């Protein structure tokens, strides 16, 4: 990263750590949307979109959600937004890379039209796997705060057994919860069984839903339907860590007075320094290879 010129556009606390990591590695960082933050690093400077020297920029770093469908980017320091246009991308070096956690069609088209490389770093396995740890720890913290019983001995349903689901299930299993894993894929069910967890195919979820004290969804599609909610114990605490719209029928849960928490962006909320370090490490690795 030595002598690289970086435009950091918006983001939450994770991106403060990103800026500082880049600076420690010798990059010059133009931080837009961080005027409320005091940076002691000499190579990090506050900037606006109009003051960034885009023709010299080697990389543009966007937050996890990238832009909306109009190019708006959320800022937190202070709260607001800035707007990224295709004309800005065209001003950068032809080799400039655009890094965004996720990428919608608007951002993809903008990068394609301007012939700039786009890297959606939250879609990379190395980022997703490392982020699963703070997500799991935060989920456990929420479960402890929202219940009046110990997690040890609590019957805990985990829907999905991908990177995040597996990490959450293992953490709750390790602290003594009676973990039930539900998923469609039979290979994933078999893997959960090797960890000593109870498993049930997702189409048989109705057979165990009434026994759960805690329900954790990791699937970004409707799983906990209204019909399942009617079978659920009204004291069950549900935590949905899947991206919007989540996998729980929140409207029905509210009508039935069942606690349902949509816990989004957990790494950035509970472990922003660690989560920021993961993002910075991934981007640095990519840029050092190119």
* Architecture of the 5-123 domain: 3-Layer(aba) Sandwich (3.40)
Residue 187 CB contacts under 8 Å (≥ 6 apart), including other chains: none
Q: What are the CA-CA distances from residue 175 to residues 104, 116, 140, 154, 168 (Å)?
A: 38, 47, 10, 10, 11
Residue 157 CB contacts under 8 Å (≥ 6 apart), including other chains: 179, 180, 182, 208, 209, 212, 214, 215, 216
Question: Does the pLDDT at position 27 exceed 80?
Answer: yes
Confidence at residue 79, expressed as pLDDT on a 0 to 100 scale: 93
Q: What's the CA gap between 247 and 35, in Å, rounded?
A: 37
Confidence at residue 1, expressed as pLDDT on a 0 to 100 scale: 79
Q: What's the CA gap between 216 and 255, in Å, rounded?
A: 19
Confidence at residue 290, expressed as pLDDT on a 0 to 100 scale: 64
Burial class (CB in 10 A: 0-12, 13-18, 19+), 198: middle
Where do the CATH 3.40.50.720 domains begin and end in the chain? Answer: 5-123, 128-268
pLDDT digits (tens, 9 = 90+) for 185-235: 999 999 999 999 999 999 999 999 999 999 999 999 999 999 999 999 999
- With tokens 């190019």, the residue in question is 71
Record the tokens describing residue 166, joined without a space.
Answer: 């597996």
Confidence at residue 264, expressed as pLDDT on a 0 to 100 scale: 85
Question: Does the pLDDT at position 2 exceed 90?
Answer: no
Question: Does the pLDDT at position 265 exceed 90?
Answer: no
Whether residue 136 contacts residue 168, with contact meaning beta carbons closer than 8 Å, is answered with yes
The pTM score is: 0.79
Question: Does the pLDDT at position 170 exceed 90?
Answer: yes
Record the tokens describing residue 52, joined without a space.
Answer: 């960034």
Question: Does the pLDDT at position 266 exceed 90?
Answer: no
Mean of pLDDT over the chain = 94
Question: Does the pLDDT at position 135 exceed 90?
Answer: yes
pLDDT band (50, 70, 90) for residue 240: very high
Record the tokens describing residue 21, joined without a space.
Answer: 């990591």
pLDDT band (50, 70, 90) for residue 19: very high
- In the chain, the percentage of residues whose pLDDT exceeds 70 is 100
Go through 239-256 and write b for each residue having 16 or more CB atoms within 10 A of its CB, e for each that does not.
Answer: bbbbeeebbbbbebbeee
As a CATH number, domain 128-268 is 3.40.50.720
Residue 26 CB contacts under 8 Å (≥ 6 apart), including other chains: 1, 2, 3, 4, 43
Q: What is the mean pLDDT of residues 253-277?
A: 90
Q: What's the CA gap between 72 and 79, in Å, rounded?
A: 13
Q: What's the CA gap between 5 and 22, in Å, rounded?
A: 10
Q: Where are the beta strands (DSSP E) in 85-230?
A: 97-100, 117-120, 155-159, 178-183, 198-201, 214-217
Confidence at residue 128, expressed as pLDDT on a 0 to 100 scale: 84
- With tokens 């919860």, the residue in question is 177
pLDDT digits (tens, 9 = 90+) for 57-115: 999 999 988 999 999 999 999 999 999 999 999 999 999 999 999 999 999 999 999 99
Q: What's the CA gap between 159 and 182, in Å, rounded?
A: 5
3-state secondary structure of 52: coil
- In the chain, the percentage of residues whose pLDDT exceeds 90 is 87
């Amino acid at each position: 990263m030595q002598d690289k010129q970086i435009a950091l556009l918006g983001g939450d606390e994770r991106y403060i750590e990103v800026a500082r990591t880049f600076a420690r590695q010798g990059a010059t960082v133009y931080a837009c949307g961080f005027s409320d933050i005091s940076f002691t690093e000499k190579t990090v400077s506050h900037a606006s979109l109009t003051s960034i020297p885009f023709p010299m920029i080697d990389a543009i770093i966007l937050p996890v959600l990238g832009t909306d469908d109009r190019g708006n980017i959320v800022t937190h320091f202070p709260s607001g937004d800035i707007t990224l246009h295709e004309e800005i991308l065209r001003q950068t070096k032809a080799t400039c890379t655009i890094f965004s956690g996720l990428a919608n069609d608007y951002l993809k088209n903008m990068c394609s039209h301007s012939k700039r490389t786009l890297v959606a770093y939250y879609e990379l396995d190395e980022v997703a796997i490392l982020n699963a740890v703070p997500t799991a720890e935060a989920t456990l913290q929420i479960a402890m705060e929202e219940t009046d019983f110990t997690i040890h001995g609590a019957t805990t349903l985990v829907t999905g057994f991908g990177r995040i689901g597996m990490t959450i299930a293992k953490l709750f299993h390790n602290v003594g919860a009676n973990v039930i894993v539900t998923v469609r894929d039979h290979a994933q069910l078999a893997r959960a069984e090797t960890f000593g967890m109870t498993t049930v195919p997702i189409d048989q979820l109705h057979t165990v839903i009434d026994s759960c004290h805690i329900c954790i969804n990791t699937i970004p599609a409707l799983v906990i339907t209204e019909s399942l909610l009617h079978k659920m114990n009204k004291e069950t605490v549900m935590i949905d860590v899947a991206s919007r719209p989540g996998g729980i029928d929140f409207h029905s849960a509210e009508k039935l007075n069942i606690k349902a928490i949509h816990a989004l962006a957990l790494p950035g909320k509970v472990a922003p320094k660690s989560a920021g370090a993961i993002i910075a490490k991934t981007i640095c690795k990519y840029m050092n290879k190119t």
